[in-house]
Structure 1
Amino acid sequence: MARTIQSLERAAAVLRLLAGGERRLGLSDIASTLGLAKGTTHGLLRTLQQEGFVEQDPVSGRYQLGAELLRLGNSYLDVHELRARALVWTDDLARSGGESVHLGVLHHQGVLIVHHVFRPDDSRQVLEIGTMRPLHSTALGKVLAAWDPVAHSEMLDAGLKSITDRTVTDSSVLERELEEARSRGWAGENGETWEGIAAVAAPILDRHRMPVGAVGVMGAVERVHADGAPRPRLVAAVRDCARSISRDLGADRFRGVSLGSE
């Protein structure tokens, strides 16, 4: 087995620590959490800071992730063909639907958000590119699990954990929901990950008509739903967006994978 480089492993551990929980941590906090000597930790932080991966607050002396990581992250996302093909269509979906739009792919037993278009209003919003979401409680995740056998298996491996009191944790109930999603061509969520938040998502297919991701809208339940169900115009807009992206990826026909009845 190939040997690993300890200093790189430690640097990666520092970055992961700064990426989760509190956004700014002091030297002592980082050293004690990782079980490293302060001198070793300071050397790692100083090197990461010189490379732009870590920044130090001049007032508190605490450390946080640096802007260079954002540049590298965007470079990774930019080579993702799905994201590149979806840019125009997701912008159109946000404008027509009036809600924020997310594009997700399967990644490490969850949904990785590879593109996010803000809701077209003046409200304060947080960019969610690069965040992870559960498979079993989100519209994006249900779409991936419904159309992609690998995603379905990883969803079960990850476990159906309760997130809110509306999260479905019964596998038989969830399987029926996924079957219904395949039949109608879209999946939804209603307060299953965040209370008061609903979403609608549809699958994206590649040139081989295989599922490669999902696109959806998300917003307050009172805007996304009407009479206890997703607004038909939003469902239609999401499905049209998914079809358009799929066509750009070469899936000009949807034979072999049902996207539901019209």
Structure 2
Amino acid sequence: MTGEDKKSTTKRQVPAVTRALAILRFLARSNEPVGVNPIARELGLIPSTCLHILRVLEEEGLVEFDSNLKRYTMGIGILPLARAALQRNTFSVLIQPKLSDLSARFGVTGIATQLSEPGQMVVIALSQSNIPFRLQVDLGSRFPALISATGRLFAAFNVQDETELANRFQKLTWDHPPTFENWREEVKSARELGYAVDQGSYISGVTVVAVPVFGANHTMTRSIVAIGISERLKEKQIPKLVKAMMAIREDIENMQIDTGR
């Protein structure tokens, strides 16, 4: 095969891969099974093309087809891939025991998130608190990168365009939505302080504290997050919690340097 043939083959293959990934991501966000036409319409695909890709994904076990409803949903074949990715994610492996310690010390749900697809953060490690009432967060849960405390950090360190910020902000769903102006001030504060707090804006009665973890070019690629019931997580505890979370970040960074990863 010549260089030109290789280049041509690559060009022909990329759209199919991109469309398959878009379908998988769409189904991952859907709470219910979805038919071919709604998927195609949402993703701007020709229905016959969408159906062909879905059938290939079904054969590979990555999606499942309900013959009664004529609809598709995510398949369990994705689980081994996700499990392997997490097992090979050095950050998630190193931080897991530290999240457990954080949860025990402060009575919070500790999670670690990582930027995955554009505009989405995914939970890659978590530890539930041992208090009687706790928040349910699942491994692999996704949420908009700009939402809650993590979102303020993402806006502070990753997004500079004001128009883009405003447009993406309008699409967010909050229990008690802040104004864009107030949110921007909180983003500015997060940049200066190096952490962010959401007290009941995202979820009523819930306080979310987040610390950024940086990748190349000082952009935020991951975050360490603590989630607690506002009545239990008093404001005076937050500085101690933040200090503990920053210490975890420093420990992880040193461990990764030591192991050469």
Question: Above 0.5 in TM-score?
Answer: yes
Equivalent residue for 1:247?
A: 251
Asked if 2 retains the 8 angstrom alpha-carbon contact of 1:94 and 1:101, the reply is yes
Equivalent residue for 1:138?
A: 148
What residue identity is the alignment partner of 2:145? P
Structure 2 residue corresponding to 1:220, chosen from 214, 217, 229: 229
**CA 1:102–1:243 in structure 2 vs 1: closer, same or farther (change >3 Å)?**
same
Equivalent residue for 2:259?
A: none
Q: Please, which runs of 5 or more residues in structure 1 have no aligned partner?
A: 253-262
Greater fraction helix: 2
Work out the CA distance in 1 between the residues paired with 2:53 and 2:30: 20
Equivalent residue for 2:30?
A: 21
Asked if 1 retains the 8 angstrom alpha-carbon contact of 2:99 and 2:110, the reply is yes
Structure 1 residue corresponding to 2:124, chosen from 110, 114, 122: 114
Work out the CA distance in 2 between the residues paired with 1:174 and 1:207: 26
Equivalent residue for 1:158?
A: 165
Query: Matched residue of 1:102: which SS?
Result: strand
What residue identity is the alignment partner of 1:116? L
**CA 1:93–1:156 in structure 2 vs 1: closer, same or farther (change >3 Å)?**
farther
Equivalent residue for 1:103?
A: 112
After TM superposition, the structure 1 = structure 2 runs for residues 1-262 of structure 1, keeping only pairs within 5 Å, are 3-5=11-13, 6-27=15-36, 29-30=38-39, 34-37=45-48, 41-57=50-66, 60-106=69-115, 108-109=118-119, 111-120=121-130, 125-135=136-146, 137-146=147-156, 148=157, 151-153=158-160, 157-159=164-166, 160-161=169-170, 163-164=173-174, 165-170=176-181, 173-174=182-183, 176-181=185-190, 184-204=193-213, 213-224=222-233, 226=234, 230-232=235-237, 234-250=238-254
Query: Matched residue of 1:189: which SS?
Result: strand
Work out the CA distance in 2 between the residues paired with 1:89 and 1:78: 16
What residue identity is the alignment partner of 1:157? E
TM-fit CA distance, 1:175? 5.0
What residue identity is the alignment partner of 1:117? S
What residue identity is the alignment partner of 1:88? P
TM-fit CA distance, 1:59? 5.4
Work out the CA distance in 2 between the residues paired with 1:16 and 1:66: 12
Q: Percent identity?
A: 21
Q: Please, which runs of 5 or more residues in structure 2 have no aligned partner?
A: 1-6, 257-261
The TM-score normalised by the length of structure 2 is: 0.71
Work out the CA distance in 2 between the residues paired with 1:89 and 1:105: 17
Asked if 1 retains the 8 angstrom alpha-carbon contact of 2:208 and 2:226, the reply is yes
Asked if 1 retains the 8 angstrom alpha-carbon contact of 2:155 and 2:187, the reply is yes
What residue identity is the alignment partner of 2:160? S
Equivalent residue for 1:260?
A: none
**CA 1:103–1:43 in structure 2 vs 1: closer, same or farther (change >3 Å)?**
same
- In the alignment of these two chains, the number of paired residues is 239
